[in-house]
Chain A
Amino acid sequence: MATAEATMGGMAHAHHEEQSFIRSYIFATDHKIIGIQFLFASLFFLLVGGIMALLIRWQLGFPGQAVPFGDPISPKSYNALVTMHGTIMVFFALMPMVMGVFANYLIPLKLGAPDMAFPRLNMLSFWMFVSSGTVAMASLYVEGGAAGAGWTAYPPLSGAAQYSGVSLGQQLWIVSLILFGASSLLGSVNYITTVINMRAPGMTLFRMPLSIWSLFITAILALLAVPIIAAAAIMLLFDQTIGTTFFLPADGGQPLLWQHLFWFFGHPEVYILILPAMGIVSDILANGSRKPIFGYHSMVYAIITIAFLGWIVWGHHMFQSGMNPLLGTTFMISTMAIAIPSAIKVFNWLGTMWRGNLQFHTPMLWAIGFVSLFTIGGLSGIFMASASVDIFIHDTYFIVAHIHYVLFGGTLMASFAGIYFWFPKMFGRMMSERLGKIHFFLTFILYNLAFFPMHLLGMGGHMRRIADPTQYEFLRPLQPLNQFISVSVFLLFLAQIPFVINFFTSLFKGEQAPLNPWKDNGLEWTVPSPPPHGNFETTPTVYHGPYEFSSPLVEEDFLPQNAPLNGGERKAATVGAGAGE
């Protein structure tokens, strides 16, 4: 950062006074630094959640045996592990990854804005996230253990200590969720305002990259969904602390009400996790295929349609909770309707790659991995959407397989794609392609070995959250499969080592990144790597959409969004932006 500032010389704007280390890197208001802060935070939580997954798989593969260098896992700790693994992965690893890292880093850069609309709110958002994560981590160490009612925290299990045996841990879980909600709300207000008001001249809505479109729509989803879980979490906290009876049936409360409120938030939440991933993948697939994205407008409308349908399908999580079958049918039909915009997206991705000049760089591999695994996850979703099939597979490992196909195979794969793609811009150094590819192929293979058999476990009736499957006679024949999955998960965890090595060695010793290593069209590739405070020397003017690859109008196979297309200016502009340093 400092060297970039120095070489930029007088380019900096009036408000770029020298800032202390603390203002620049700790309590930073620069959207790029905040994005990088979110990156380190979410990678940390990814590691914590991953270690919890190892412990869960140890217990399921080898029930009752002592963990290497430790004790056997008690059923109560197993409940806490399952709960905290889900909570940490959804709220502290994946959501900040897409809505913290990429939203923060990309929105102003890709729109040609100097920063977010409200930089100080942005800083507040990050530090509220840190405090929320700290509370969640602290809950692991309090008396009675961490929350054990599942990441969905259904009452009455979560409503009173006598059911789950946890009181303080559950309350801290709720507090951290409320803090997290506040953080995500501040972020959303910022993103929406920035996208609406801060676009550079010429950056019309339909010239925005799909990553920005999806982050914009996702911010609207988060803005409207998160307050619902905040309200519900507050009611649950009051039930536990000041004696209200919202969800406790003894005094007229309704446990089902929590499920409605939770999933009214929770279903939009899964689209909050997957839509930005789709946007990132769209950007990278077009780049790696050297072709314009297939059906740009239909992609945008598909994002909007998915987001809208996401609001009217929450009941499909509750088919087995007691629901009028007629109501169940309406939820079933609206859920299945989501397959239409999702299929539009998948076919458009295939259409983008079809007869493209495919470049199999690491980000592209992850993006292709995303498309394949998301498709599997999407298809298993249709099984569960069918109310009659769901009677059989509800609360089994089939659900676990599905959620991991869309969140690990989907969101996390796209996040890796995004990290490999934008790492050079973030840190000014290239990552190793060789290690990146090793990381991809090992992860892709081991991932499928770990999660695909979970569908079979689910069909065999393996319940979702039991600590010891061998206590049921009908599950004992499935135990070899469980052990196979466990070993695959252990190897999958080890397969992340190349990434860690790659990330940290590239951070310090990587090859210097040129301006535009992937020959992309986005505005972020027209500024130095890493970009200076304030991003752009002069506000760029945008002339094209983001996917002008292999255009017959220019010699290069890409056309930056800010390169004008009129006579003599044309060549100079494209060469100047593309040739790097």
Chain B
Amino acid sequence: MANESVMNEAIAMPGGVHAEPGMQVYNQKLGMWVFLASEVMFFTGLIGAYIILRFGAGDWALPGIPLEEGGTPLNINLTAINTFMLICSSVTMVKAFAAIEHGDQKGLRRFLLLTVLLGASFVGIQIYEYMELVHEGFMPRCSDELAAIVPNCHLFGSTFYTMTGFHGTHVSLGVVALIWVTVKAFRGQYSKENHGGVEVVGLYWHFVDLVWIMLFTIVYLI
């Protein structure tokens, strides 16, 4: 374990005694894993509802068909670029963590800053995407013109905005957490031995990334 000292410090009890070995990870990391389990269930609820509604509805707007013939109103190319950026931000997050594991302060700061930038750009592009879609009349309750050509447009809008909206909220909260970690990194508050914050926020960030890969696939691509 790279952060053995972090771990031992966290589970040490008063009087210098150590607790039963438990999971051999420090509390914050374990707590984040446990929390992520509940997040998995939350998105399972949203995605499960989408699957039931979509396949219960029969006809659905598919990619690869022009909008006028019942195609999807979504801009897949733009979101593909966005997806790529989010995946890259996971890579930079890993690089930031690897840097501080070796005590590389400069690397930590550089890669954290990159991660924040990529994450914030994702949110920015998603907001732009929403504005364009709303302009076209694609909303939780579609405009009459769009509802006439897009099959089950209201249902599509309901599920689309709920799922991607909650994901976007998660990314935004992740960006806020990352900014906090980055500020701490610039103040030199992490070290080779003590960098639990980077790891815990990193875990959350990878989870958010992973959820998006699923959402992008089932909402945009199939």
Contact = CB atoms under 8 A, between A and B. Distances in A.
Contact of B19 (A185, A199, A235, A260): A199
Given A193-B30, A244-B158, A253-B155, A198 B37 contact: no
Nearest to B157: A244
A515 B55 CA distance: 62
Contacts of B157: 244
Interface stretch (A110-118, A151-159, A292-300, A376-384): A110-118
A547 interface: no
Place the interface of chain A in its size category. 35 or more
Contacts of B53: 246, 252-254, 257
B45 A261 contact: yes
A193 B34 contact: yes
Interface in A235-286: 235, 238, 242-246, 251-254, 257, 260-261
Contacts of A226: 38
B141 A245 contact: yes
Interface in A183-209: 185, 188-190, 192-193, 196-204
A345 to B, nearest CB: 26
Contacts of A88: none
A126 interface: no
B128 interface: no
A232 interface: yes
Contacts of B26: 197
A579 B141 CA distance: 71
B15 interface: yes
A117 B20 contact: no
B141 A227 contact: no
Interface in B1-41: 11, 13-15, 17-20, 22-23, 25-27, 30-31, 34-35, 37-39, 41
B112 to A, nearest CB: 24
Contacts of A201: 17-20
Q: At the interface, is chain B mostly helix, strand, loop or mixed?
A: helix
Nearest to B45: A231
A551 interface: no
Contact of A228 (B14, B30, B45, B155): B45
A367 interface: no
B152 interface: yes
A509 interface: no
A254 B140 contact: no
Interface centre among A114, A203, A231 (most CB of B within 10 A): A231
A243 B52 CA distance: 19
Contact of A252 (B20, B38, B41, B152): B152
B19 A245 contact: no
Interface in B162-188: 162, 166
A245 B158 contact: yes
A539 interface: yes
Contact of B49 (A196, A230, A246): A246
Given A204-B20, A243-B140, A244-B158, A223 B34 contact: yes
Given A238-B158, A245-B141, A246-B49, A199 B42 contact: no
A436 interface: no
Contact of A227 (B18, B27, B38): B38
Interface string B133-174: 000000111000000000010110111011000100000000
A230 B45 CA distance: 9
B39 A227 contact: yes
A534 interface: yes
A403 interface: no
A536 interface: yes
Contacts of B52: 254, 257, 260
Contact of B57 (A185, A243, A252): A252
A387 B121 CA distance: 54
Contacts of A246: 49, 53, 158-159, 162
Contact of B22 (A196, A253, A534): A196
A114 B13 contact: yes
B22 A538 contact: no
B17 A539 contact: yes
A13 interface: yes
B13 A231 contact: no
A507 interface: no
A284 to B, nearest CB: 25
Contact of A539 (B15, B35, B56, B158): B15
Contacts of A260: 52
A144 to B, nearest CB: 23
Contacts of A54: none
A193 B31 contact: yes
Contacts of B11: 197-198
Contact of B155 (A113, A114, A227, A251): A251
A576 B44 CA distance: 53
B46 interface: yes
A245 B156 CA distance: 9
A433 to B, nearest CB: 36
A223 to B, nearest CB: 5
Contact of B44 (A114, A228, A251): A228
A234 interface: yes
A205 to B, nearest CB: 8
19 contacts: A193-B27, A198-B11, A198-B13, A201-B17, A224-B37, A227-B38, A228-B41, A228-B42, A228-B44, A231-B42, A231-B45, A235-B162, A242-B141, A244-B141, A244-B162, A252-B56, A253-B53, A257-B52, A261-B45
Given A238-B140, A539-B14, 4 more contacts: A189-B34, A196-B22, A198-B27, A261-B49
